[in-house]
Structure 1
Amino acid sequence: MSDLEPAPLVELDDDPTPVGTKAFWFEGHGGIRLRAAICPAQGKAKGSILFSPGRSEYVEKYFEFAREMTAKGYTLAVIDHRGQGLSDRLLKNPLLGHVVDFSDYARDMECLWPLIADQMPAPRILMAHSMGGAVAMDVLRRGHLKFDKMIGCAPMLGFAGASPVMTNAIRLLSTLGLKKLSPPGLSGGGALDPEAAKILTSDPKRFDRDIRRNKQEPKLQLAGPTIGWLHAALKLFKSLQGKTGYRQIDLPISLTRAGHEALVSNSATEQACKQLPNSICQTDKDALHEIFQERDELRDTFMARIDGFLKL
């Protein structure tokens, strides 16, 4: 990894970079330039975590989590998925979240792994939030990377409130060649959307931290998804429900749903757990979507669940 080009990190005074963290650029699937970071364990190593963030998220959003886990002896690696964070954007408008094929995210993680594998001690854990949950399931389904356990937080295995009318409209608009456009009637979202906190977290301090970082480095900002992104996600959801999807993923998996979820489908997560051979599905009834960014009393419960699952 020493020959990789160093990449910048965006630090806040009240959210410092974890000790020893190294960010770097690497070449993802198709030659795209991506950013990732590795945060080494402090003290005796207990294992390692490869983290797949949610849509619009980036390495620095998980600094707090990284400080906690590295202090417990886990090395943590985090990727900026293509089209977000400081990784290359895919459209002329850098604020539009786009992907051609949802499996490109998994392919990027497969490109990253050989670069860091010798620094990722066993047991090796795949962890994910939101969109990253769909990516993680795709990684496991593809079978090129091997992990001992997987942990998903509010995994995006379906869209909240999705209807046949909506899904058919997305498919039609995509077929008509409108993949790179924003879908009509969909809110832009993003870290600077003043309404976003109402559905993401009940912790104003952690939400404000995200806003301040996005203002400090505007290149981190991302707004809404494109029609093509939505269509690609729908195709992956359907594929995961097929014969080569969830049923073929047999490692221990813990999935946690937010009780006040407004973005992803909790019922889709429940259905996935019924198909996954070795899974646990639990609900944090008072949490909003971003449980990692929730207020302490909710977040602490979730972190304790992670610790317990890692010790099994």
Structure 2
Amino acid sequence: MQVKLIDENRYADEMRETVLPALATCRSEGWMAPADDDGLPPLQRAGKLHYVCYDAAKFDRLGEDGAAATFRGAVVISHGFTEFAAKYAEMVWYFLLAGYSVCVFEHRGHGYSARDVDNPSLVWIDDWRRYVADLAKFAETVGKDYADGRPLNLYCHSMGGGIGASVLETHPTLFDKAVLSCPMIAPVTGMPNWLASVLAGAMCRLGLGRHMVFGQSEFTPELDMADYEGASEARVRWFQQQRIDDPHQRTFAATFAWVRQALRLSRAVQRPEA
């Protein structure tokens, strides 16, 4: 089947007038306790992980133009670094039109999920395996419930793609199919990754693991399209407005601990035995 893309020239209007009202009719949200993995260190802060799901059966009752009206299973979305569930409304719309229920999981430190630092701009994680264990638990429980015996698929982007790749390696029967969009398998750090790993490790040992990485900044409402060369301006401005409107969606910069763990994830995913 073919899915018609939202008209970029009317992007904000179509999102407000058509997409978001339709999604609201089949949307539900919930919170999941973090995965209980014996190999992980104890959590430093309590809290649950947030997710948003969309039911294909409820969506089909709307009779939207172009909808497949054939249930094909479910898609779990694993978002990228500093992203959030609401950013994926457009992708959710396309998956629903194609006949899939959709489950969007907000990784720890993002969106409405539990955080380990007070600054809403920063992302910190103590162990990359926590991301993997949490996503696997979410797919095994919520994702499979929405798939209802049909195929369970994974759509993941950037950081979520690195996490997704590890889940595919460690839980090879969990998903039926997967799409990895620009997966963070070899992070771009601006220097050789072995050197970035040494520097991030040194900063963490100095007690600066929760500090912002050099060259990054906290969220600001100002937008410079020069930072988004080649991107859809209508979409970039839409996402920026979501951040402005909701403090939970203002994650924007990495901490040294996050960089250290991202590079450890990279090495683990690329092991030949994996």
| Interval of TM-score (by shorter of Structure 1 and Structure 2) | 0.7 to 0.9
1:179 paired with 2:194, answer no
TM-score normalised over the length of structure 2:
0.77
Return the letter of the residue paired with 2:241.
R
Provide the C-alpha distance between the structure 1 equivalents of 2:225 and 2:195, rounded to a whole number of angstroms. 25
Q: 1:141–1:244: 8 Å Cα contact kept in structure 2?
A: no
Question: Which residue of structure 1 aligns with residue 180 of structure 2?
Answer: 152
Q: Shift of residue 50 of structure 1?
A: 0.7
C-alpha distance in 1 between matches for 2:247 and 2:201? 32
Give the direction of change, closer, same or farther, for the CA distance of 1:108–1:125 in structure 2 (3 Å limit).
Answer: same
Q: CA deviation at 1:228?
A: 0.2
Instruction: Give the letter aligned to residue 204 of structure 2.
Output: S
Alignment-derived partner of residue 188 in structure 1 = 217
CA distance in 1 between counterparts of 2:160 and 2:180 reads: 8
2:169 and 2:32 map into 1 onto residues whose CA distance is 24
Matched, 1:216 2:245: yes
Supply the distance in 2 between the matched residues of 1:225 and 1:66 (Cα, whole angstroms): 27
Q: Which secondary structure state, in structure 2, belongs to the residue aligned with residue 75 of structure 1?
A: strand
In structure 1, runs of 5+ residues without a counterpart are 1-11, 246-312
Amino acid paired to 2:245? Q
Aligned to 1:39: 54
Q: Structure 2: how far apart are the matches of 1:191 and 1:201?
A: 21
Name 2:33's counterpart in structure 1: 27
Assess, with a 3 A threshold, how the Cα gap between structure 1 residues 145 and 94 changes in structure 2: closer, same or farther. farther
2:93 maps to 1:67:
yes
1:85 alignment partner in structure 2: 111
1:38–1:196 distance in 2 versus 1, CA, 3 Å: same
> In the superposition, relative to structure 1, how do residues 86 and 234 fare at CA in structure 2: closer, same or farther (>3 Å)?
same
Q: Residue in 1 aligned with 2:20?
A: 16
What is the percent sequence identity of the aligned residues?
23
Contact 1:190–1:196 (8 Å) recurs in 2: no
Give the number of the structure with larger relative contact order, counting CA–CA contacts within 8 Å between residues 6 or more apart: 2
Map 1:225-304 onto structure 2 (within 5 A).
225-245=254-274
Measured after TM superposition, the shift of residue 201 of structure 1 is 5.2
Distance in 2 (CA, whole Å) between partners of 1:90 and 1:166 is: 23
* Residues 25, 197 of structure 1: alpha-carbon distance in 2 compared, 3 angstrom cutoff: farther
Q: CA deviation at 1:170?
A: 1.5
Q: 2 CA distance for matches of 1:136 and 1:146?
A: 11
**TM-score, normalized by length of structure 1?**
0.68
Contact 1:54 1:128 in 2 (8 A): yes
- For residues 37-64 of structure 1, the C-alpha deviation after alignment (integer angstroms, 9 at most, x for no partner) is 1112233211211110001111111111
Give the root-mean-square deviation of aligned CA atoms. Answer: 2.2
Q: CA deviation at 1:171?
A: 2.2
Q: Partner residue of 1:166?
A: 196
Corresponding residue for residue 123 of structure 1: 151
Matching residue of 2:234: 205
Q: Residues 48 and 120 of structure 1 are in contact (CA less than 8 Å); yes or no, is this contact kept in structure 2?
A: yes
Quick one: structure 1 residues 202 and 150, their matched pair in 2 at CA, closer, same or farther if it must change by over 3 Å? same
Per the alignment, in what secondary structure is the counterpart of residue 206 of structure 1?
helix
Distance 2:181 2:229 in 1: 13
Q: Report how many residues are paired.
A: 233
Letter in structure 2 aligned against 1:240: V
Letter in 2 for 1:118: D
